[in-house]
Chains A and B, each alone.
Chain A
Amino acid sequence: MGITDILVTGEPIIYAAMVSIALVSIAIPVLLTYFKKWGWLWREWLTTVDHKKIGVMYILSALLMLFRGGMDALMMRVQLAFPDLGFLDSQHYNEIFTTHGTVMIIFMAMPFLIGLMNIIVPLQIGARDFAFPWLNAMSFWSFFIGAMLFNISFVIGGSPDAGWTSYTPLSGAALSPGPGQNFYLMGLQLSGIGTLATGINLMVTILKMRAPGMKLFHMPIFTWSTLVTCFIIVFAFPILTVALALLTIDRIFGAHFFTLTAEGLPMMWANLFWMWGHPEVYIVILPAFGIFSEIIATFAKKRLFGYHAMVWSMIIIALLSFLVWVHHFFTMGAGAFVNSVFSISTMLIAVPTGVKIFNWLATLYKSKIEFTVPMLWSLAFIPSFILGGVTGVMLGMAAADYQFHNSYFLVAHFHYVLIAGTVFACFAGLVFWYPKMFGHKMNERLGKWAFWIFFFGFHVCFFPQYFLGLDGMPRRLFITNVVEWLPLNVISTVGAFGMGLGFIVFVYNVYYSFRHAEREKTGDSWNGNGRTLEWATTTPVPFYNFATVPYVDEIDPYVRMKEEGKTTYDESQLKPIHMPSYKATPIIMMAFLGLASFGLVFEWMPVAIFGLIGGVAVMILRSFDYDDGYYVSVEEIKRIERKARGL
């Protein structure tokens, strides 16, 4: 097979994409060489095991993926508002809604949140890094390379086109021949390894590495949400891993797990997919709840109302999230009894969710709210998310779902929860913790512009879609020149471009603030309103986080520390700090496994086997690596701390 056989041809948009990809991939090495930055990039970033740097890389990649998924979205909206323009053909449209959904959930929402967890959780619990820093780096590279593998399908081989749910039999070898669907399988499999490893890693970190004195019920609420999320990850992701592997075996090696022929069970895919898929939507919403809780408490300047109820409701949500998956295929034809059981379990989830909403409202009640940018995102989240949740309960009524299912009503529901929940939280959390990451805040005025534009764009885009759904417009529909639907579709497209504009302002703000924002002098960046340990560190955070580990035996420990004029730093207690060394093995190992996956996508077995052997070889190499890290001397710590604290 020659190179021309696998390149996607015949589409102006794709040629444009190829040219831009080629330009970018030439520009990056040229610039790096010109500024002599290769060594720096390799030493400081590509081989790092520092949780803060890995977190930054996660967030940058997630923003990139948000851009990619956003472009997909805008192309779909153009097609839907101007169906006669012939902007996309139906095949292209199928590919775009598939990559949009997959990229947004797997390569944008999760990595963004995992990036924030990476940076913030160790700081919140007084730890110096993850429990397994090497594994953390490996997780990142597995996600990143998985994401890249998925994304090149656009220009090489052709994108998957069976929806982000990849339902069989459509996604099987018989009905979707060629590499497209393999890209989906291998991209998700590769990045799934990383997610699972991160789940274990963070779970151990939180359970084993908390500051002395800190009980579980002293932990900041974002750390709690991370812990609960990790449990869901650890229990849900193996299901996806197995389902993907079975479908891969079906497609590449000719098995019949999900095929129409030879007694395969196509519906079993939907069943397994949603056994992972529903917990997955809670994987992306619980950390968001945690972020909003932190921000609301900080800018309401009160302790979070009902901390214990908040924690327990998250735990209950996590348990219930494993018991509702059938609500995604009520229309499959299981009996009324089966549907009723899952209808009730679905509606039950609304109860702990409601508890959380009331707790946020109670936190805000009679408080002196400071309307900063992160707080605006958080306040906007509450009513918007309620719209998503209430329509979710409507969808949860099995009988009614026969009407709503696969209509734009559903599309509106999950965008209301995913955007007003997860995306708002990502923006809010990024702005909120930005000074911890980069040593300066984001500009408030531009931030407010970005917020308002995005917020209005969002509602203008998705509110009409509820009514389009009620008017009978199905999802994943390519032809929409039905006169009754056109006005609302045009409005929705206008809103989508509004969101795009909001995103541009947001990204411009990153650049603008980098150039112009005042550098932070204290660690407690938000007018001294910080409540938890991350604000007790200096800015920029030293690579070992805490020179001396603080003792914590209450919720919001930093509030009291400030009242008593204390810091976490006690020079008389300094001891050498044990830190992990940077390693090249994570990126090399995942590059080999990425190559193996690429080989499997095209079913080039020699390439796949070579990559696999390479990956295993690095794994063995790593097993015989006895480097246990190094010690930072007391003198050096003293020097760094004195400089940072102006002592």
Chain B
Amino acid sequence: MAKTDKKVPMNHVIGFALSLIMTLLAAWAAIQSDLPVTWVIVFIMVLALLQAGVQLFMFMHMTEKESGGGAVPWNMMFHGFALAAILVAGSLFTMSFGFDHGDHGDHGGEHEEHMEMDDSEGDHSGH
């Protein structure tokens, strides 16, 4: 129980450094880089996946010998991903699905103007 293990946990140190570097890279891509928007998004997505991998393999005991060659917390991972899905899909659903933009739209005559408004607002919620 009270075993004193003075080895430096290199795995954690490397993981910590990696996660910081990847965060900084993502920030750089978004703020400083001249990459086109699509590439910024792709780049950030890839970094996010790598980041998740670092967390799982270097911190979450996925590969630890002591827990029998890796106790994969499938249950919690499933819930984590389910929640992330609810967050993203739910936000898209509520923020941009079937918006009627208030009252306008039922009056026939001023169609042009409303088209414009819908467009600009549609743009907003698309982000």
Considering the chains assembled together, what is the distance between the CA atoms of A366 and B5 in angstroms?
Answer: 59
Residues of B within 8 A of A235 (CB): 79-80, 83
**A225-238 to B contact mask, C-beta < 8 Å, 1/0:** 00000010001000
Q: Are B125 and A335 in contact (CB under 8 A)?
A: no
Q: How far is the CA of A263 from the CA of B127 in the complex (A)?
A: 9
Q: Does B95 contact A (CB under 8 A)?
A: yes
**Residues of the A chain whose Cβ atoms lie less than 8 Å from the Cβ of B99:** 333-335
Closest CB in chain B relative to A248 CB, distance in Å: 15
A231: chain B residues within 8 A (beta carbon): 79
Rounded to whole Å, the gap between the CB of B75 and the closest CB of chain A is 11
List the A side residues contacting B91 at CB < 8 Å: 268, 271-272, 275
* Bound complex: CA A90 to CA B97 (Å): 38
Contacts of A578 in B (CB 8 A): 1-2
Task: Evaluate whether A337 and B97 lie within 8 angstroms (CB atoms) in the complex, with A322-B83, A626-B4, A626-B6 already known.
Answer: yes
**Also in contact, A337 and B98, with CB within 8 A (given A265-B124, A265-B125, A629-B2):** yes
B68 interface hit (Cβ, 8 Å) = no
Q: Which residue of B lies closest to A325 (CB)?
A: B90
The residues in B between 25 and 75 inclusive whose CB is less than 8 angstroms from any CB of A are: none
CB proximity of B8 to chain A, nearest CB, Å = 10
A271-B79 contact in complex given A265-B127, A322-B86, A333-B102, C-beta closer than 8 Å: no
Contact of A628 among B2, B83, B87 (CB under 8 A): B2
Contact B95–A265 (Cβ < 8 Å): yes
Q: How far is the CA of A323 from the CA of B85 in the complex (A)?
A: 12
Residues of A close to B125: CB separation below 8 A: 265
How distant is A402 from chain B, measured CB to nearest CB, in Å? Answer: 13
A336 close to chain B: CB less than 8 A: yes
Q: Is the CB of B111 closer than 8 A to any CB of chain A?
A: no
Contact status B94-A334, CB under 8 Å = yes
Chain A, residues 604-629, CB within 8 Å of chain B (1/0): the string is 00000000000000000000001011
Interface size on B, residues (CB 8 A): 24
| A8 contacts chain B at the CB level, 8 A cutoff | no
- Which A residues, 531 to 550, have Cβ-Cβ distances below 8 Å to chain B? none
Closest to B80 in A: A235
Output the least CB separation between A487 and chain B (Å): 36
Q: Which residues of A contact B3 (CB under 8 A)?
A: 628
Could you give, for residues 241-278 of chain A, a 1 whenever the CB lies within 8 Å of some chain B CB and a 0 otherwise? 00000000000000000000001010110011001000
Among A268, A336, A578, max chain B CB count under 10 A is at A268
Query: How many angstroms from the CA of A271 to the CA of B102 in the assembled complex?
Result: 18
Are B6 and A338 in contact (CB-based, < 8 A)? no
In whole angstroms, how far apart are the Cα atoms of A94 and B36 in the complex?
45
A326: Cβ under 8 A from any B Cβ? yes
- Chain A contacts for B79, CB-based, 8 A: 231, 235
Q: How far is the CA of A333 from the CA of B86 in the complex (A)?
A: 20
**Is B110 part of the contact surface with A, judged by Cβ < 8 Å?**
no
Bound Cα distance from A574 to B29, whole angstroms: 61
A239 interface hit (Cβ, 8 Å): yes
B93: nearest chain-A partner, CB-CB = A338
The chain B residue with its CB closest to the CB of A203 is B76
Check B98–A338 contact: CB distance below 8 A.
yes
**A324 → B minimal CB distance (Å):** 10
- Mask, B116-127, CB within 8 Å of A = 1, is 000000001101
**A569 CA / B90 CA spacing, docked (Å):** 53
Write out the residue numbers on chain A whose beta carbons fall within 8 Å of the beta carbon of B94: 271, 326, 334, 338, 342
- B112 interfacial by beta-carbon distance below 8 Å: no
CB distance from B89 to the nearest CB of A (A): 11
Chain B contacts of A323 at CB under 8 A? Answer: 86
The complex places the Cα of A234 from the Cα of B76 at a distance, in Å, of 11
Judged by a CB distance under 8 angstroms, whether B100 is at the interface is yes
Q: In the assembly, what is the distance between CA of A578 and CA of B87, in Å?
A: 43
In the complex, A333 Cα to B94 Cα: how many Å? 10
* A336 contacts across to B, CB distance below 8 A: 98
- Bound form: Cα–Cα A239–B102 in Å: 28
Residue pair B124, A263 in contact (C-beta under 8 Å): yes
Given known A263-B127, A275-B87, contact A335–B97 (CB-CB < 8 A): yes
Q: Which residues of A contact B87 (CB under 8 A)?
A: 239, 275
Chain A residues whose C-beta falls within 8 Å of the C-beta of B6 in the assembled complex: 626
Alpha-carbon distance A265/B125, docked complex (angstroms): 7
Compute how far the CA of A239 lies from the CA of B98 in the bound complex, rounded to whole angstroms.
25
Among the interface residues A271, A334, A335, which one has the most CB atoms of the partner chain B within 10 A?
A: A334
A630 nearest in chain B by CB position: B2
Query: Contact: A271 with B95, CB < 8 Å?
Result: yes
Complex CA gap A448/B98 in Å reads 54
Q: Are A335 and B98 in contact (CB under 8 A)?
A: yes
User: Could you tell me the distance in whole angstroms from the C-beta of B13 to the nearest C-beta in chain A?
Assistant: 10
In the bound assembly, the distance between CA atoms of A335 and B83 in angstroms comes to 23
Question: Across the interface, which residues of B come within 8 angstroms of A275, CB to CB?
Answer: 87, 90-91
Residues of A within 8 A of B4 (CB): 626, 628
* Residues on the B chain within 8 Å of A337, using CB: 97-98
Residues of A contacting B95 in the complex (Cβ-Cβ under 8 angstroms): 265, 267-268, 271, 334
Residues in chain A near residue B124, CB distance under 8 A: 263, 265
Given A626-B4, A628-B2, A334 and B90 touching (CB < 8 A)? no
Q: How far is the CB of B113 from chain A (nearest CB, A)?
A: 18
Kindly list the 8 A-B residue pairs having the minimum CB-CB distance in the complex, ordered from nearest.
A335-B98, A628-B2, A235-B83, A337-B98, A326-B94, A578-B1, A626-B4, A334-B94
Apart from A235-B83, A272-B91, A334-B97, 7 more pairs, CB < 8 Å: A322-B86, A325-B90, A326-B94, A333-B101, A335-B98, A335-B99, A628-B3
Chain A to chain B contacts (Cβ below 8 Å), 9 pairs: A235-B79, A265-B95, A268-B95, A275-B90, A334-B94, A338-B94, A338-B97, A338-B98, A629-B2
Task: List chain A positions with a Cβ less than 8 A from chain B.
Answer: 231, 235, 239, 263, 265, 267-268, 271-272, 275, 322-323, 325-326, 333-338, 342, 578, 626, 628-629, 631
